[in-house]
A and B are shown apart, each in its own frame.
Chain A
Amino acid sequence: MSAALGRITPRRLRVHRTPLIVRVTHWLNALAILIMIGSGWRIYNWYPALPLDWQFPVWISLGGDPRVTQGLTGEDGLANALAWHFGALWLLAISFVVYLAYGLLSGHFRRDLLPISPSGFVRDLMAAAQGRLAHRLGEQNIVQRTLYWGVMLAIVLMLVSGLAIWKPVQFSGLTWLFGGYETARVIHFLGMAAIVGFLVVHVALSLLVPKTLQSMVTGIATEPADEGISR
């Protein structure tokens, strides 16, 4: 039977589809997160949360060219960065919650991002390091799954610690849970660092396996059905 089918279709293709809702929320999340990171760097520069004599270069931060902004509005870019930050906040909050709801209700999380385990993580990490890890479109290994859970946790941490910094009076209990206002700022910074770390790996991997990127944009990607080991 399968032999006969094989003769009719010369190359059988595995089709991987990415639902529209996942693609839309993915790119909206990406946009919002980039805005929040860029503007967050500018905000950080004004009064660094870390006790380091170091700042983010202005040109990679979001908030306009300080001299141009000064001429346009009479402030040198902090107000602009804050406006980006608290504007994109709503985009991220809504888009991320929609994605979480979809992931939970559709079974996407259970199907694609579980199970995970420490031993499986180590096994897949070793296999990946030795180049022995099979890759099939739409299937995540345990290292990837763990990273996705990690970044989702980091985003939640950012939203909650951000709330503790933004509203230390209305949510004073939350700010207290984060160890107070100043500590909450440090945690908010560390969460950013974790997300940036994820982004570096995530973007590098998607460029190494362009079909994943294709599927995240167009919604569909194919690979030969027998392809299991190749990238």
Chain B
Amino acid sequence: MKLTGTLERRGLLRGGLSLGALTLLTGCDISDNDSVHRALAAMSRWNDRAQAALFGGTRLAPVFAEKDAVKDFRYNAFFAAKDSPQLAAGDYKLELSGLIADKKPWTVDMLYGLPEQSSQITRHVCVEGWSMIGKWSGPPLSVLLRTVGADLSAKYVGFQCADGYHGSIDMASALHPQTILAFKLSDEVLPVKYGYPFKVRIPTKLGFKNPKWVTTMYVTNRYPGGFWEDRGYNWFSGL
């Protein structure tokens, strides 16, 4: 009977440990451990692949009615709205680099003159959990990519922004019909604080994958990462 008693206690102890250890350690040690970070990063890369496999290149994000679109859209960045980069229409140039045939820079007039412009009323979903429906207008990013002779078989399209932000997306998402250069929000020329002269609006991705104040676009096969992705957020971040 003594043996049973010991076994019982050992079982209790072990069970108690596995249940309690996490609750006790969660606050600090576990998450801030280097090898844990590496393991989580490996899982995140696996999730990139799973999401790419799930992604439907022509599957459309739900569109909403005009009345659902928020007029006073939430401002969101890691600095105050008044500190937004002021890009003047006269000086602005979109630089192109990487696997693009025609790398001549694009002015605001050239961009705003792109064909196939249309409006979409879609849900912007933030990684923090909030979401908001807005109305954006502009041409598909694919039109620009085709016009400049980008290598559409390359893996990534990357963006550098005037505020130091940078990001990248997979080519399939870049070519998605709802991925647009948003020149307008709520039918008005995109205000400075929302990314003038344009925001890359990608309704199939989380909000932080929708760069604003873009000054350079490049196409590459080398993984470019991104501002938040380099800090541990999932890269694909598809919806």
- Which of A's residues lie within 8 Å of B, judged by CB? 27, 30-31, 34-35, 38, 43-44, 46-49, 58-65, 68-69, 72-75, 77-84, 86-87, 90, 166-170, 172, 175-176, 181-182, 185, 203, 206-207, 210-211, 213-218, 222
B147-166 toward A: CB 8 Å interface, digit per residue (1/0)? Answer: 00000000000000000000
Given contacts A74-B231, A79-B232, A87-B40, contact A172 B18 (CB under 8 A): no
Task: Decide yes or no: A60 and B27 within 8 Å by CB, A79-B228, A217-B15 being known contacts.
Answer: yes
Q: Quick one: which of A176, A181, A215 contacts B125, CB cutoff 8 A?
A: A181
Interface string of B8-48 (1 = CB under 8 A from A): 10111011001100110011101110000101110110110
Cβ–Cβ < 8 Å partners of A207 in chain B: 12
By beta carbon, the residue of chain A nearest B237 is A82
Shortest Cβ gap from A118 to chain B (Å): 32
Q: How far is the CB of A162 from chain B (nearest CB, A)?
A: 13
Min CB distance B134 to A, Å, is 14
A217 engages B14 (CB within 8 Å): yes
A-B residue pairs in contact (CB < 8 Å), sample of 26: A43-B129, A44-B129, A61-B27, A62-B30, A63-B31, A64-B30, A68-B32, A69-B31, A69-B32, A75-B233, A81-B31, A82-B127, A82-B233, A82-B234, A83-B41, A86-B43, A86-B44, A86-B47, A87-B39, A90-B43, A169-B203, A181-B123, A213-B11, A214-B7, A214-B11, A218-B11
Chain B residue nearest to A222 in the complex (CB): B4
Given contacts A75-B233, A218-B11, 10 further A-B contacts (CB under 8 A): A47-B130, A62-B26, A90-B43, A90-B46, A170-B239, A175-B62, A210-B11, A214-B7, A216-B11, A217-B15
Chain B positions near chain A (C-beta within 8 angstroms)? 4, 7-8, 10-12, 14-15, 18-19, 22-23, 26-28, 30-32, 37, 39-41, 43-44, 46-47, 54-56, 59-62, 123, 125-131, 203-204, 228, 230-234, 238-239
The reply to whether A86 and B234 form a contact with Cβ atoms under 8 Å apart is yes
> Contacts A62-B30, A169-B203, A170-B55 given: A83-B22 contact, CB under 8 Å?
no
The answer on a CB contact under 8 Å between A206 and B15 is yes
Contact across chains for B18 and A73 when beta carbons are under 8 A apart: no
Query: In the assembled complex, which residues on chain B have CB atoms less than 8 Å from the CB atom of A81?
Result: 31
Q: Which residues of B contact A83 (CB under 8 A)?
A: 40-41, 43-44, 232, 234
Is B31 a contact partner of A30 (Cβ separation < 8 A)? no
Q: Which residues of A contact B228 (CB under 8 A)?
A: 75, 79
Give B177 Cβ to nearest chain A Cβ, in Å. 13
Q: Could you say which residues of chain A place their CB within 8 Å of the CB of B8?
A: 210-211, 214
Residues of A within 8 A of B43 (CB): 83, 86-87, 90
Q: Is the CB of A65 within 8 A of B125?
A: no
Residues on the A chain within 8 Å of B59, using CB:
169-170
B167 to chain A, nearest CB (A): 14
Closest 8 CB pairs of A and B: A64-B31, A47-B129, A79-B232, A87-B43, A214-B11, A83-B40, A59-B27, A75-B231
